[in-house]
Amino acid sequence: MSPARRHCPAEITLHLIDHRWKLLILRELLRATRRFSALQRRIPRVSRRVLASQLRELERDGLVQREVFPEVPLRVQYSLTRVGKSLRPVLLAMHNWGARHAKRLSQLREGRNE
């Protein structure tokens, strides 16, 4: 992100959630704390490598907390930080907008503007 644009609040938010898998990860973590394998099951199209990478980015950005339990086998779980939880209204607004406009957008993509 260029220095001149760092002051645009919408762009700051988009920069944090700019990958399609991040939105789905955040959606799942808003529902509950999850282990890596549970996230994989709930988002089956994401590869292990991409899921791990996106979780690391979300953790680096302060939205996700990774907790490691010193057990054998090692247990790791992910949850949202306070800042991550504060995205709930943003994600809910995106969900509601998508639900309201899904039919029309689908028709436009198919070339049928009604």
SS3 state at 5: helix
Question: 44, 105 in Cβ contact below 8 A?
Answer: no
**How confident is the model at residue 24, as a pLDDT?**
96
- Residue ranges and CATH numbers for the domains of the chain are 3-109 (1.10.10.10)
Question: pTM of whole model > 0.95?
Answer: no
**How confident is the model at residue 2, as a pLDDT?**
54
**What is the H or E stretch that residue 68 is in?**
strand 64-69
**How confident is the model at residue 3, as a pLDDT?**
55
**How confident is the model at residue 110, as a pLDDT?**
84
Segments of the chain scoring below 70 in pLDDT: 1-6, 112-114
Whole-angstrom Cα distance, residue 31 to residue 29? 5
**How confident is the model at residue 8, as a pLDDT?**
87
**How confident is the model at residue 76, as a pLDDT?**
94
